[in-house]
Chain A
Amino acid sequence: MEGLVREMQDTEHGGVPVRSQKLFLTSIPAAFMGYDLIEWLMERLGIEESEALNLANQLCQYGYFFPVSDSKNLVVKDDSSLYRFQSPYYWPWQNRPPDNVEYAIYLAKRTLRNKQRHGLEDYELEALSNLRKNLANKWDFITMQAEEQVKLSKVLKKGDKIISDSQERAYWRVHRPPPGMVTSLEQCPVPTRSWNGSRTRKRTIEDCRRDVELLKNSLSRTRVKVSQALEGMVQHVETYAEYDPLITPTQPSNPWVSEDTTYWQLNSALVEIPTEKRVRRWALSMEELVSDPTGLQEFTNYLRKEYSHENIRFWMAVNDLRRSAQSQIQRKVNEIFEEFLAPGAPCEINIDGKTMEKVHQEMKAPSRFTFDAAQEHVYTLLLKKDCYPRFIRSEYYKNLLATGIQPSQKKRFFGFGQTKKKTSTSSAPNQQLLQQQPSQGATVTCGALSKRRGSDRSLSGSAHELAVSGVKDSKVPHSHSQSNLSDIPYRGDLACLPKTSPIAAPVTSPVKKPSIAIVAGASTSEEVCPWESGNEPRSRKNSAQLDSGSSSSDISVAVAEVSERVQRVCTLTQQHTVDGSRKLSTSTMDPPRRASVSVPITHSTTTGDSSKRKVSSFEDNSSAATSTSSSVFVIPSDTDNKAEECTSTSKTVVKNHGLAKACSVTGANAPIISVSSVADDLPVDSKVEEEAEATCSQQEPLAPLAEPDSESPASELPPSEPITEVEVDTEAKSNDVCPWEDEETCKVDTPFVKTYATLGYL
């Protein structure tokens, strides 16, 4: 590099444009002006002004030239200030280590001269006193030298004096920079890097042998034509350009630019519903699929359905083995062998005799690479050539692709799937809905909340966050169990839902179980609007509700994960810390609360909520939270709405259920909702329908009550929610007795009320 600099300098010296002598008040030989330099650089190198300026500054910092008049800063300005080349003797590439004696002379000299112009700076004074201490024996000599030089300099012409002064100063400015300023010349203190010579260590005969060996090997290496290799690379880049956020903008937005973390939530390692783009990426290659945790999970699920997942499991096990700690190797090797390879193993994989033989041989000296041959075989022959193409062609994959989230196109995203069921879904609400939000179509909750700042975002956010919860959980045990639960049943659901949902009502109860929960979710979102659409002020009411809702949901969060949460609380925002305490108090109430339909939903929101917090404690957090929770609270009202509108509740259930899945927002909600409901409703099984009906009817009276009271605290904010809550709860107490009786004993009732009560007080 230094060579390059020098070469450039030389060309300049050799008469290329810049070498101009400018006159100042006194004539200064061989100086040049800032803008001349910049211009020359621009012309010579064909670069922009900014780059030229940067380059010039760099060279100046290295001390190749220096400003004549300004001795304090080594900065090149693009103006008529004068610069002069440092004499090559002082160029840094000479690697002439600056000498302390010289420095001392220089400083001493300056003390001897005019205070005003040559006064020393603080750091220089300090350096001088230090030097005096260190060089005490030479100090006489130093002062003598200094005096001598001062005398000499007095003889010089003024112009020369300025030059030599500034030259000297610039040199020391580079080599003895003021503290806090970094010099470009500072060397790495690493021994071998700082001395320039003899950096390569002595070569031993072994090195040479190794070299020859390597060269021989590389001679026999098979290579492809450059054109072929490059074509491959170009193709790769073209294929992936779409997935490169720095080339193709991300959807919905790059978090770093927009401050909105939705993108990360949508694309976290494990999600319920991957984005469509992500699913598409799995089709690019098997490697893409298996390197994505969600992809791997889907692939495994698919293979499990086909009863052929032992291959992928073996592959994963071997991968795990390879990365295990040394102490685990022996045990893991045996485990893998027992499970997959031993004759009659529970998950015996199908490999050919030769590979098997190899494995047996390797087993004698087990290592982390023992199963590499078998893994290779399984990977290339079975997974890559057989399972993977089948997966990509399968309905399962197509379904994933179809249900994938498309964050870019919200409209399509919400409308999708609903096209089928829209007509059949709650027609009445829809009308109202349309009145209110003609453009928003299916994005109901969103519409209802549209007056709130960022509500739109929060809605989608909440959906994603819900989806995320599963992901985040990989670390945090709390909702892990939930997501696991949800995962399998839900997938199953999803797969058959498009077809079944129209007919499903009377048919399969397992499908419906989750569905009921979904319904709740869906219906809420659906029907918030109609509720709201009646009066203008209610939108505000809604927000009040939301707030209270959020708190209630927080409580239920606590149920599952108090411990973790408490840990986290510190990072959460103020609001959340409050929640922490609530959580604690309510955590015991979990089982009873499950009893009612509304509870599962609360659960779901909660999970969404909590995950969200973990993901981010951002501003949209609270709004998102509220939006989700809104659904919780409106339940009573809309369920009864439904009851009114539809003659047979069960049908609505089914329809809604379709709906829920249809808009993927709710779809995202769904899995988690379904989890809890499934978990909770297991004993109830076939009662699902009835239950739905029951709740609906039971809650009918609740609704009117709920409405006024939530209206009243319209403008109230979280601090005042308790009141609302309590009221609602009392109503709940009075009205909701039946649903619990449906499934559980009355005992349940009391704790349930208590839950809410505590909530209220807090």
Chain B
Amino acid sequence: MTETEGKDCPIETIESLTKEAEALKKKLEDERQKLNDITLATVADRLDIINYMNIKPRRTLKGHQAKVLCSDWSPDKRHIVSSSQDGKMIIWDAFTTNKEHAVTMPTTWVMACAYAPSGNLVACGGLDNKVTVYPLSLDEDVTLKKKTVGTHTSYMSCCIFPNSDQQILTGSGDSTCALWDVESGQLLQSFHGHSADVMSIDLAPSETGNTFVSGSCDKMVLIWDMRSGQCVQSFEGHESDVNSVKFHPSGDAVATGSDDATCRLFDLRADKEVAVYSKESIIFGVNSVDFSVSGRLLFAGYNDYTVNVWDTLKCVRVCLLYGHENRVSCLQVSPDGTALSTGSWDYTLRVWA
């Protein structure tokens, strides 16, 4: 959906359909507007301001020889897997800053990596268009048991295990998302709907949840039903590529970070955008966003080397974290919420708490 490119479309029906879509969109907007009775900042008025945050860099993980592109926390709350531009994937004990495994991928730009819920498996992929799974074991070379699970027709930009070691969900530059069976490599479900590269996906927090959200270079944010493969909800509002999406811990909203230098919050129940986190002084794109476990804080990593911490309810910035010497490419709050990890193009990862 999205942009009206009616004139580009050669076939008559496409044009008519696009027109229809336009009309519907308008109606939808009206419908949404009718229920728009209050702003988030007003509701949050009664809350206390968070005026002091004592978040400091606690660990620096050095070892990558190139830009860190993606990282993910292990469910054990202290290990991190990270991948970098030079094709390396490293598993860290972030607490001691030791490297436990280093895997060299046969590709550069490993753009995505993820820990499985059991903590015994990691997946990664990138420009090789594939998602590869590595079982972790201490006594042998992890590359021996690697397994290519799925292949896209373009680069793989993001991957995530949907509460199971047996499945993996990927997003790709071919503008689709796909759900794979790890064991057999079978494509269980594919998700079509974006019209440009999918940059980020995130699962709904509920244990039994069957939905996930995806953000794409077509500026759209789509909510999907994993079971049916259908898109169930869509949000637009960003003026540029959506680089990152994240479910609010309540599961009722998603936050997005975009190249247009804003983060936004979309509420699923109200079916509309409810907040924009931006500031005049922030003119660089957002690469990654994540919530604190309560959902009160939104961390966002920017191209200007900083991490901004937003108060999601009051829509104001709480503080600014300096430390990295290049773009902050990825960022994630640890599973128990005790720490924040950031990865950057300056070849390092940092843990903040």
Residues of A within 8 A of B (CB): 1, 4-5, 8, 41, 44-47, 50-52, 54-55, 58, 182, 184, 188-193, 199-205, 207-212, 214-219, 221, 223-234, 236-238, 240-247, 250, 254-257, 261, 263-264, 267, 287, 290-291, 319, 322-327, 369, 372, 375, 379, 567
Contacts and interface: CB of A to CB of B under 8 A. Distances in A.
B217 A199 contact: yes
A319 B207 CA distance: 9
Given A5-B283, A218-B271, A257 B353 contact: yes
Nearest to A290: B207
Contacts of B234: 214, 218
B17 A208 contact: yes
Contact of A224 (B127, B218, B270): B270
Contact of A215 (B25, B95, B155): B25
Contact of A245 (B154, B260, B293): B293
B103 interface: no
Contact of A200 (B38, B193, B195, B206): B195
Given A190-B111, A233-B313, 15 more contacts: A4-B261, A44-B280, A54-B305, A189-B109, A190-B127, A203-B8, A209-B17, A218-B271, A224-B270, A226-B35, A236-B252, A236-B295, A244-B293, A245-B337, A246-B293
Contact of B283 (A4, A192, A246, A372): A4
B24 A212 contact: yes
B276 interface: no
A214 B1 contact: yes
Nearest to B216: A200
Nearest to A44: B280
Nearest to B161: A323
B184 to A, nearest CB: 5
Given A189-B127, A219-B28, A325-B182, A233 B248 contact: yes
A246 B295 contact: no
B38 A226 contact: yes
Listed residue (B21, B293, B294, B320) with the most chain A CB atoms within 10 angstroms of its CB? B294
Given A200-B195, A225-B270, A238-B47, A212 B296 contact: no
Main secondary structure of the interface of B (DSSP, over half): loop
B8 to A, nearest CB: 8
A244 B296 contact: yes
A323 B233 contact: no
A201 B175 CA distance: 9
B337 A323 contact: no
A28 B279 CA distance: 34
B37 A226 contact: yes
B154 A191 contact: yes
A227 B283 contact: no
B240 interface: yes
B49 interface: no
B74 to A, nearest CB: 12
A236 B293 contact: no
A233 B295 contact: yes
A327 B183 contact: yes
Contacts of B320: 50-51
State the main secondary structure of chain A at its contact with B: helix
A211 B17 contact: yes
A247 B17 CA distance: 49
Contact of B338 (A234, A236, A254): A254
B269 A224 contact: yes
Given A192-B154, A212-B20, A255-B338, A240 B294 contact: yes
A215 B2 CA distance: 10
Given A226-B36, A255-B95, A218 B233 contact: yes
Contacts of A264: 77-78, 336
B48 to A, nearest CB: 10
Contacts of A50: 320, 322
Interface in B157-174: 162-167, 173
Given A55-B283, A205-B13, A256-B339, A241 B270 contact: no
B293 A240 contact: yes
Chain B: interface residue count, which band? 35 or more
A240 B195 contact: no
B246 interface: no
A20 to B, nearest CB: 22
A326 B188 CA distance: 9
A296 to B, nearest CB: 10
A230 B267 contact: yes
Nearest to B337: A245
B269 A256 contact: no
B283 to A, nearest CB: 4
Given A45-B280, A326-B181, A223 B32 contact: yes
B326 A229 contact: no
Contact of B304 (A54, A241, A379): A54
A4 B259 CA distance: 11
Interface in B196-240: 196-197, 206-208, 217-218, 227, 231-234, 240
| A-B CB proximity, top 10 nearest | A323-B164, A211-B1, A256-B353, A244-B294, A45-B281, A240-B294, A215-B24, A229-B270, A208-B17, A325-B183
Contacts of B162: 323
Given A203-B5, A287-B207, A323-B163, A224 B35 contact: yes
Contacts of B270: 223-226, 228-230
Interface of B: 1-3, 5, 8-9, 11, 13-14, 17-18, 20-21, 24-25, 27-28, 31-32, 35-38, 40, 43-44, 47, 50, 53, 55, 58-59, 67, 77-78, 95, 108-109, 111, 127, 138-139, 154-155, 162-167, 173, 175, 181-184, 186, 188, 192-193, 195-197, 206-208, 217-218, 227, 231-234, 240, 248-250, 252-253, 259-261, 267, 269-272, 274, 279-281, 283-285, 292-297, 303-306, 312-313, 320, 322, 326-327, 333, 336-340, 345-346, 351, 353
Nearest to B1: A211
A228 B297 CA distance: 21
A216 B24 contact: yes
Nearest to B100: A571
A226 B274 contact: yes
Given A224-B270, A227-B37, A240 B173 contact: no
A748 to B, nearest CB: 37
A45 B317 CA distance: 14
B269 A215 contact: no
B38 A192 contact: no
Given A224-B269, A369-B227, A232 B13 contact: no
A217 B231 CA distance: 10
A117 B279 CA distance: 42
13 contacts: A55-B304, A182-B345, A189-B109, A208-B9, A210-B193, A224-B269, A226-B267, A226-B274, A227-B38, A243-B337, A246-B353, A323-B165, A372-B227
A212 B173 contact: no
Contacts of B138: 567
Most buried by B among A47, A209, A226, A322: A226
A54 B322 contact: yes
Contact of B9 (A203, A261, A324): A203
B218 A200 contact: yes
A205 B10 CA distance: 10
A324 B338 CA distance: 31
Contacts of B227: 369, 372
A166 to B, nearest CB: 24
B17 A256 contact: no
Contact of B109 (A190, A223, A238): A190
A205 B183 contact: no
Given A232-B269, A247-B294, A326-B181, A257 B58 contact: yes
Contacts of A372: 227
Given A182-B67, A208-B21, A224-B269, A193 B184 contact: no
A192 B173 CA distance: 8
A566 B43 CA distance: 58
Contact of A233 (B154, B252, B272, B338): B252
Contact of A182 (B43, B127, B346): B346
Nearest to A41: B281
